[in-house]
Structure 1
């Protein structure tokens, strides 16, 4: 073995991997180094070795890369949330552009012209939702985020990608727990009360929801909890979630609103949406408007089209497209999301939509849509859905993806029958290794579709 565990080696980082880790080599043997960047010369200690590669931890940066910058967050190298705070933003964008290009070529087997990625002018404090696990370690209350690949909580009082007002709310919750000696949930023993703090904010409407997840049926001193939180005047909703399950799932389906409304509201363009604690809503409101404008552009609606929006959530894309389409169907497996979508359609005075509860891959499409919109979870589309699409052969597919690898995989199944017309990466998640992509696929000539 060329390298040995617990020994130190000096290497130069030559590239950045798919997950944001630096890649170097010692005498030709690959070493992955988190928190490094192309051009760094680093001394690393090997913490893991297998036959094909090793993983190293930075002991010392001997020479700094030209694209390395000081991190704004004190927890960046500990917390699992950001992978790129030490990298100049313009290089983050370049890396994400290449991530999309490489995935389409290596996994999808296609060479596509990719539009330049759309980044943010001010890539900080952009998130509108945060989920903070809470633990008690050595009699100290930890409220923050999990360390990378761990269930150990990094105690965070400030995060440069979350809404700044979250800092005040965390401080109040911490003060409440200490003042009234409220027990903290232990995952190991399934005992204690407080599990998670969820904060959701409306970017345009400026209202805030606080949801406290508890392992019980009531919150002691609930009236004081409300009183303390109301010092933050933007809070319009305080909710308890009762989660007594032995699970890593944060929220159960049992909620009780103890102050204000059951939902908050926020806008995408001219549309207003109600948001509950479980609503799926893009976390970067500034980039979401840009993303949806691209979807509208790719749809190129004339006014009489039939559209099927799969994985529709609370209807954000469905309703955005309905403004200019003939009829839009929204499909979503979560029943509550469909109810929310119906309410969102009602309050926006949109009546040319129909929302259906069901799995996207199990829907029997009797209609022949002109456009199918795909916005699947990170794992991409089920193969059964791809087969359904290849049976339907809609003239146009608009695929919105949060993982270039699964986007490329799904395109590899579709490419015999569809041409890639446009690809637009959007940086929805600055300082992380994630990138959103909108892809326009157009059906090839039907005679050619079945000849290959």
Structure 2
């Protein structure tokens, strides 16, 4: 017997008035027609809006707002609608207090829905003021639009470049240097990359700036090594901006979404910049992972150190250690720190960062966290505190089980994704390690992303 096809209660291009009753994890408003969800870009809970239905799927639809019949008290005038369309700043039409409430709710719902934690306390989100111009790194595509070379960002779920000059959340000097470079690229007629033809020379520009040092690194990502007039642009750049102490060329010949390849050339100055985090100095290379919001990274790490309640005789495991920022921040409070990271270049940076800070009670190893942990355990090393800061996909089940078998006093978990954190905490809880409070820290104002930290302790 053939299944009867159920028609959606709305049609493409239909216009109707709806109430926004909720918001999705990625910042869209949610309306319902006969129980059928419609995701409305820029909608805020409590608003009544006239929408244009753009796309209808089997179980939901997408729409854009034409006019507002009522607006939320949490709405502020958006600086630039394109910052929502590109995903650079999808929440910047909401007041900052409303953003923090939205993020706290995302964490709370993840802990309940995925972790099954009904009683777990989620603290108020630690925000920052002002919540703008905080990013110390920019990764900007270069394309030809019409007859002009342009810089900007891709529209969400596409590779259509939207021209952006004020990125709102980037350090203002980074925006200024980008505008300077755009003028020079036009002056020397540098050919931007054309994805459809896999032709042209310049793919993107990556800029990093030290929050405290003010040192700047500019990396030109090119399709091939030889680019006419690139050295002329570099000469003009460093003359105009003396704090540009490193100019790199990264050669990325492949058709790929991966921005940087392994091949790097120094065009000017050093191959890294320096900056500080919690009083320690770090050398940051073009490919290093380094937190993009220095001020909030310091607040996040301070909270992690507070929760760890470190003692002089403690031995600490810093898993997913990157260039060593968390472990080195803890080293002077404990007996020994062991750090593991799968990226060999990051471990090289971590070793170097330990040397320049005169820290000798640390040991860093490249490899998968679960495999290296097995080796250290086989060598008889016991850990009092385990600190984890995994990528968005969270921890492996094997690593969680190994961690619990070691019976550390505390496991400090830092996460950039509340969903995978809740999943992992559920497994930890089933193995005897629980938390009473999760602390969200807003590392990425104006976006939907949120960092969290908690401490897991053995049940008595």
TM-score of the aligned structures, taking structure 2 as reference length: 0.94
Alignment partner of 1:237 is 2:251: no
Mapped partners of 1:343, 1:197: distance in 2: 26
Q: Residue 390 of structure 1 is aligned with which of 404, 414, 423?
A: 404
Deviations 1:375-398 (A, max 9, x none): 011111122222322332322111
* Structure 1 position 162, deviation (Å): 0.3
Alpha-carbon contact 2:174-2:209 (below 8 Å) kept: no
| Matched residue SS, 1:317 | helix
Counterpart residue number, 1:443: 458
Aligned residue number for residue 168 of structure 2? 160
Which stretch of the first structure deviates more once superposed, 48-57 or 266-275?
A: 48-57
Deviates more, 1:139-148 or 1:278-287: 139-148
Matched, 1:33 2:43: no
Deviation at 1:421, TM superposition (A): 3.4
What residue in structure 2 maps to residue 94 of structure 1?
101
For the pair 1:332 / 2:341, whether they are aligned, the reply is yes
* Aligned-residue offset at 1:420: 0.5
Distance 1:393 1:99 in 2: 31
For the 8 Å contact 1:73–1:160, the answer to whether it is kept is no
Residue matched to 2:231 = 223
Q: CA deviation at 1:6?
A: 1.5
Partner residue of 1:351 out of 318, 343, 360 = 360
Q: How many pairs does the alignment contain?
A: 445
Work out the CA distance in 1 between the residues paired with 2:406 and 2:146. 59
Q: Distance in 2 between matches of 1:361 and 1:144?
A: 40
SS in 1 for 2:84: coil
1:14-25 aligned at under 5 Å gives the runs 14-25=21-32
Contact 2:84 2:91 (8 Å CA) reproduced:
no
Residue 76 of structure 2, aligned match among 64, 69, 73: 69
Partner residue in 1 for 2:281: 272
* 1:376 and 2:383 correspond: no
Shift of 1:87: 0.4
**Whole-Å Cα distance in 1 between the matches of residues 154 and 387 of structure 2?**
34
Q: Are residues 1:290 and 2:299 paired?
A: yes
Which residue is 2:290 aligned to? 281
2:332 aligns with 323
Partner of 1:410: 424
Mapped to 1, the partners of 2:452 and 2:114 lie a distance apart of: 15
Q: 2:4 aligns to what?
A: none
What do the CA deviations read for 1:162-210 (whole angstroms, capped 9, x no partner)?
0111222112222222222211111222211100100000011111110
Cα shift at 1:74: 5.1
Q: Do the aligned partners of 2:136 and 2:294 also contact (CA within 8 Å) in 1? A: yes
Flag structure 1 segments of 5+ consecutive residues without an equivalent.
446-452
Which digits, 9 at most, give the CA deviation of each residue in 1:235-258, with x for residues without a partner?
Answer: 111111111122111001111111
TM-score, L = length of structure 1:
0.96
The residue correspondences of 1:419-438 to structure 2 (distance < 5 A) are 419-438=434-453
* Distance change >3 Å, CA 27–CA 421, structure 1 → 2: closer
In structure 2, the partner of 1:400 is 414
Alpha-carbon contact 1:81-1:148 (below 8 Å) kept? no
Q: Deviations over 1:301-340 (max 9, x none)?
A: 1111111111100000010011101110010011111000
Q: Distance between the aligned counterparts of 2:305 and 2:404, measured in 1?
A: 23
Provide the C-alpha distance between the structure 1 equivalents of 2:188 and 2:58, rounded to a whole number of angstroms: 54
Q: Which runs of 4+ in 1 moved over 6 A?
A: none
Alignment partner of 2:183 out of 168, 175, 178: 175
Supply the distance in 1 between the matched residues of 2:371 and 2:139 (Cα, whole angstroms). Answer: 31
2:132 matched to 1:124? yes
Within the candidate set 51, 60, 80, 1:53 is matched to 60
Alignment-derived partner of residue 3 in structure 2: none
Secondary structure, in 3 states, of the residue corresponding to 1:77?
helix
- What is the rounded CA distance, in whole Å, between the counterparts of 1:390 and 1:152 in structure 2? 47
Would the aligned equivalents of 1:422 and 1:441 in 2 still touch at CA under 8 Å? no
Q: Which residue of 1 aligns with 2:5?
A: none
Q: In the aligned structure 2, how far is the partner of 1:74 from the partner of 1:422?
A: 36
Give, in angstroms, the shift of residue 85 of structure 1.
0.6
Assess if the C-alpha contact under 8 Å between 1:421 and 1:442 holds in 2: no
Within a 5 Å distance, the mapping from 1:241-260 to structure 2 comes to 241-260=250-269
Q: After TM superposition, give the deviation of residue 267 of structure 1 in Å.
A: 0.6
Aligned-pair CA distance for 1:72? 2.2
| Contact 2:114 2:422 (8 Å CA) reproduced | yes
